[in-house]
A = this chain, B = another copy of it.
């Protein structure tokens, strides 16, 4: 089972955007610099987050990204589904219906037992991811911080936050 690198980048980026002041935005280049990742690759994930209604894009030379909703309303599941797509990890290709001496269609009206069990585990996984919000992540980070992490983030935002955006 694999998740792309984009998930880590997207969750960190959303957490960073949580630190913006009202009306502030961050460019994709700034987000990429802060996380030491490729801007073009991150842009793809920011577009996915935008498509899912997690971030808003402010266009123009002073534009950038900001959160589209409160951090309490953005779960890790929202971000994973935005970046990875909504399809389940297990994709049943109905191999039970292939091969020699096939059975009539009435045997395949219910989902395959294997598919059902795999999808049940995925529902549990998703439910667990849905329990953690970006607000939780930011609060946990703050609880573990003696001030150094916040100071670094604030200094970076001080330099890179664009305030001219609506």
Contacts and interface: CB of A to CB of B under 8 A. Distances in A.
A7 interface: yes
**Residues of A contacting B: mostly:** helix
Interface of A: 1-3, 5, 7-9, 11-12, 15, 33-37, 76, 80, 84, 89-93, 95-96, 98-101, 103-104, 107, 110, 113-115, 117-118, 120-122, 124-125, 128-129, 132, 136-137, 140-141, 144-145, 148-149, 152, 155-156
Given A5-B91, A8-B114, 6 more contacts: A1-B2, A1-B80, A15-B114, A35-B95, A100-B156, A110-B144
A3 B90 contact: yes
B103 A149 contact: yes
Shortest beta-carbon contacts, A-B, top 10: A36-B98, A125-B125, A121-B128, A1-B89, A113-B140, A124-B128, A117-B132, A34-B99, A36-B99, A35-B95
B114 A137 contact: yes
B93 A8 contact: yes
A113 B144 contact: yes
A7 B91 CA distance: 9
A132 B119 CA distance: 12
Contact of A101 (B7, B93, B118, B152): B152
B98 A35 contact: yes
B120 A128 contact: yes
